[in-house]
Amino acid sequence: MIKLNGTETPYRETIGELLSENHYEMKKIAVLVNGEIVKRENWPVFVLKPGDEVDVVTFVGGG
Amino acid sequence: MTYQIGGRDLRSRFFIGSGKLPSYRIIPEMVEKAGVEVITVAVRRINPETKQENIMDCIPDHCVIMVNTSGARNAGEAVRIARIGRELTGSDWIKIEVETDAKYLLPDNEETLKATEILVGEGFRVFPYISPDLVMAKKLEKAGAAAVMPLAAPIGTNKGITCAALLKPIINEIEIPVIIDAGIGRPSHAAEAMELGADAVLANTAIATAPDPVTMAVAMAKAVEAGRMAFEMGLLAEKEFADASSPLTGFLRRIE
């Protein structure tokens, strides 16, 4: 399993697969694995480990 | 006339926050009509089912995006959000906002200083949001902050300049720009902040929750400009007793 935005989600081998499997639109998002940013160009090749915490973030309105 | 802040030449001294807006689609009109050049945004987790418009599509290209670390509870989290912000926008302007107190949302000045030291080291232009404390402002200046952003009153309270006696020493004693942030509820508050000598004002709630955010943004922008003009000219001192403005001779009195 992978913890995606705090929720247990089935394991996928790479960030790219995890995002497309969960129907993310790839533009204007950033991805963190265990709190560290993974650059966009590395998403297709970045290999996840079971239990990794993945956060997908974007900008919202804020003061 | 332009002034320098965070390595940029800006004209507008009125910064806006983009939280609580009824729709991001009003941002372009607001920016244009109020002449805004700096806008803050926040970073949050996104779920794929969220089909909301993306704020980045609504912010005009000429605007400087200031990423806000709101939601961070300590320096480490603020640093992480700053790095995400830079990754997403390429903007190195970061507003450090670290809060642990949910009731008054008062900033943790100590964690803010820690985050500032780290992020300055990473090449960010750091804008720390702080309680109005001159000693902390001096430490932040020494740490390399681009400006300080002391609060006028707690976030979203619309109480205005509640602590001029604490803001004025910061304005007087530090060299980096002072942006008065939070608590600005009305144009008169914004004008007062600028009359005190602030370099800029940031407002969010007062605009976003107004019946017409665009009109309120314009009103605030005018007040900021008016306050700045008066400050640059020099304000007059208060007097205890009346000082007639009409001549005190030649009255039309009936001679008895």
DSSP characters over B182-215: S---SHHHHHHHHHHT-SEEEE-HHHHTSSSHHH
pLDDT at residue B255, rounded to an integer: 66
Does this complex have an ipTM over 0.90?
Answer: no
Q: Which amino acid is it at B195? A: E
Cβ of B88 within 8 Å of Cβ of A5? The answer is no
Beta strand B38-45 with B64-68 is parallel
CA-nearest of A63, A27, A9 to B40 is A63
**For A2-57, which CATH superfamily applies?**
Beta-grasp domain (3.10.20.30)
A55 close to B (CB below 8 A): yes
Across residues B120-148, what is the average pLDDT?
A: 97
A26 close to B (CB below 8 A): no
pLDDT at residue B51, rounded to an integer: 66
Give B49's pLDDT tier (boundaries 50, 70, 90): confident
CB B169 within 8 A of CB B134: yes
Across residues A52-63, what is the average pLDDT?
A: 91
- CA atoms of B172 and B217, how far apart (whole Å): 28
Cβ of A61 within 8 Å of Cβ of B42? The answer is yes
